[in-house]
Amino acid sequence: MTVSEKQLKANKKNARKAGVKTPEGKAIVKYNALKHGLLAKEVVITVGEGAEDPEEFNALLVDLKAQLAPAGTLEEMLVEKVAVAYWRLRRAYRYEVGLIRKELDTAADDFYGEEDWQHKKVNEADDEIDREIAEHKEGIEYWKKDKRELTKMYKAGKPLEEIYDWEENWECLYEDICHLLPDDDDSEQLMAPKGIREFLNTKEGWSDARIWTKLIGLCDDNAKPHKKEIARLEKQKQKNKLRLQVIKKLGNIPSRHELDRLLRYEGAIERQLYKAVNQLERLQRLRAGDNVPPPVEVDLDVNTGHNA
């Protein structure tokens, strides 16, 4: 029967119109190629925090079937085995990332939570160190303020009795000159500002100007321990930062036990993957009429030289 040119054009036009056009229809026929999904239903985790997307697995399977073109049930099952092996291998990689992420996420807590035998924190957290630094800075400012006020009063010619109520300053002066005091004289009168002044004036020959200068100088001396402690805390903070960086870098490698188990698991999956691919290739070559030699079976007998 001869088909006219007009009919031929109409047939081509109708052919172009054929097929599913709506999104709903495409979603229904998208996985028509999946005839044997038994393993797929078992391998995809669909509940819990580690839930996986079945659609993603099905898309992988569709792509593999399009590339490997299986014919018959056996070849389709082998393609599905390839997909399953790849899916499990990818899950193993995610598990490895999770192990590393867990180590990194808990590194800081473990580091700053470490305690000694007396249950005291071994390493201070940055916020604790910053709080201590702030307190020492307040101490420095306190003595700087005292120095400014004492210097101002001294330059204004104020008498020492006007600062008798500056007890903390006089206590510091007493501690500084106590080695000059008689061993048998520890009276409260001598410890008072007036008694200290009289002792230094009469016994040591200090002028009031020298006492003023000493009181002003002690402000700097009292600020020094705060500065020293700030330097120590800043150094400790930097040291903690460097140690934590090292710990986090080491955390990029799973523990030996986890790593050994993970490598064995990945190795087993890879062997399954390669085996399925090789079996599929062999079947397809046989189907194509190629002369395929039988697989070589190797029997390994490893003798370590030790008696069982």
Question: pLDDT digits over 23-62, tens only?
Answer: 554 444 444 444 445 555 778 888 887 788 888 898 998 9
77: number of Cβ within 10 Å? 18
- Checking if the pLDDT of 1 tops 80, the result is no
Q: Band of the pLDDT at 188, cuts 50, 70, 90?
A: low
- Vertex 104, ends 250 and 57: CA angle to 5°? 110
The answer to whether 6 and 27 have CB atoms below 8 angstroms apart is no
% residues pLDDT > 90 (the chain): 37
pLDDT of the residue at 191: 80
Q: Which residues pair with 121 in a beta bridge?
A: 115
The answer to whether 28 and 56 have CB atoms below 8 angstroms apart is no
- Determine which helix (DSSP H) or strand (DSSP E) holds 54, and give its type and residue range: helix 54-68
Average pLDDT value for residue range 53-81? 90
Task: State pTM to two decimals.
Answer: 0.49
> Domain extents for the chain?
37-117+255-287, 126-251
Average pLDDT value for residue range 219-228? 95
Which of 146, 158, 161 has its CA nearest to residue 217?
146
